[in-house]
Amino acid sequence: MNGTWLMMNLRAVRGRAYPRLIGLTREPSWMFFEIALPLLTVSAYAYIYKFMAAKPEFVGYVILGGAMTAFWLNVLWAMASQLYWEKETGNLSLFLVAPISRMSILAGMALGGMVGTTIRAISTVFIGVFAFSVVFSLTDPVALVIVFFVTLVALYGMGMMFASLYLLFGREAYHLSNLLTEPVYLASGFYFPVRYLGFWTAAGASIIPITLGLDALRQIFFPSGAQDAFLPIWTEIFVLAILSVAFLILSKFSLDFMERLGRTTGRLTLRWQ
């Protein structure tokens, strides 16, 4: 690896991130579909907790979960499925012919997705806080930054790995994303503390980075709900860091495998396969 190679790949990351970032200003309809609509789900859960006279923290958990939903959907529909769509439009061939690491294309998608989705997630939190008068108490800003960072890296690392695997599934990728949407809301505890699913279920669900990320965020923002925590914050940060590295390495391997397989079978450059 030399400086020229690094610069070339950094430019590629920036190039691929650009359509995602500029899309925020060019297609404002996302505000309705990705902020207003998810708030309806958040509201439904919030009202259930209110009518049940649950602890006030639970409404806060729901808002946090609603915000993190944006990341999960972005990873499924705009990361994992993306290479498949790129193949259908003919972009994938052009990415493959370019003299860059394929990881920089995925990193560009991830970076663009993270920035765009963070704006959406923060919007959801603000509107949720305003609508339901939830008080967030930030106890440890350093932990917040680290949790948020490792959660996103692990989550988007998983999306990068899925991107290659989805290519192998071809048209079934669409069904796979559908299949992974709702069950993960339950397994990862998007709208309730995951520890109530039992230790082993929560531990199994922790393979999806958002499970531990959400649990840690709940602890950071709502210290009064410490008894709802699954694992201590720093343990979760440690596991998320391991997941980040593991998913990035696995995504590199799956990408190389997919490319080799594609070059052997010829399927990567054929549409509708």
**Among the residue ranges 85-93, 133-141, 198-206, 212-220, the one whose residues contact another protein (CB under 8 A):** 85-93
Shortest Cβ 254–another protein spacing (Å): 19
Separation CA 194–CA 65 (nearest Å): 11
Q: Tell me which of 37, 44, 94, 179 binds another protein, using CB under 8 A.
A: 94
Contact 198, 117 (CB under 8 A): no
Counting DSSP H helices and E strands in the chain, the numbers are: 12, 0
Among 41, 43, 118, 269, binds another protein (CB under 8 A): 269
**Of these, 21, 31, 48, 96, which contacts another protein (CB under 8 A)?**
96
Which CB sits closer to another protein, 18 or 126?
Answer: 18
Closest among 114, 126, 113, 121 to 67, alpha carbons compared: 121
Determine contact, residues 224/166, Cβ cutoff 8 Å: no
Tokens representing 7?
């610069």
Is 154 within 8 Å of 244 (Cβ atoms)?
Answer: yes
DSSP string of 125-158? HHHHHHHHTPPP----HHHHHHHHHHHHHHHHHH
Figure out which of the listed residues 105, 154, 194, 210 binds another protein, where binding follows CB under 8 A: 105
Q: Which of 249, 250, 234, 61 is nearest to 150 (CA)?
A: 234
Cα–Cα dist 42/252, whole Å: 36
Residue 172 contacts another protein per CB under 8 A? no
Total site size for another protein, rule CB under 8 A? 33
Candidates 21, 55, 56, 93: give the one binding another protein (CB under 8 A). 93
Nearer to another protein, 23 or 225 (CB): 23
Contacts (CB under 8 A) with another protein, residues 24-43: 26-27
85 is an interface residue for another protein by CB under 8 A: no
CA-nearest of 54, 39, 71, 65 to 185 is 65
Helical segments of 170-208, H only: 173-187, 199-205
Binding segment toward another protein, per CB under 8 A, in 63-71, 99-107, 142-150, 224-232: 99-107
Q: Among 95, 169, 185, 238, which residue interacts with another protein (rule: CB under 8 A)?
A: 95
Residue from the set 53, 133, 266, 272 that interacts with another protein by CB under 8 A: 266
Contact between 258 and another protein per CB under 8 A: no
Residues within the interface to another protein (CB under 8 A) = 4, 7-9, 11-12, 14-16, 18-19, 22-23, 26-27, 89-91, 93-100, 105, 262-264, 266, 268-269
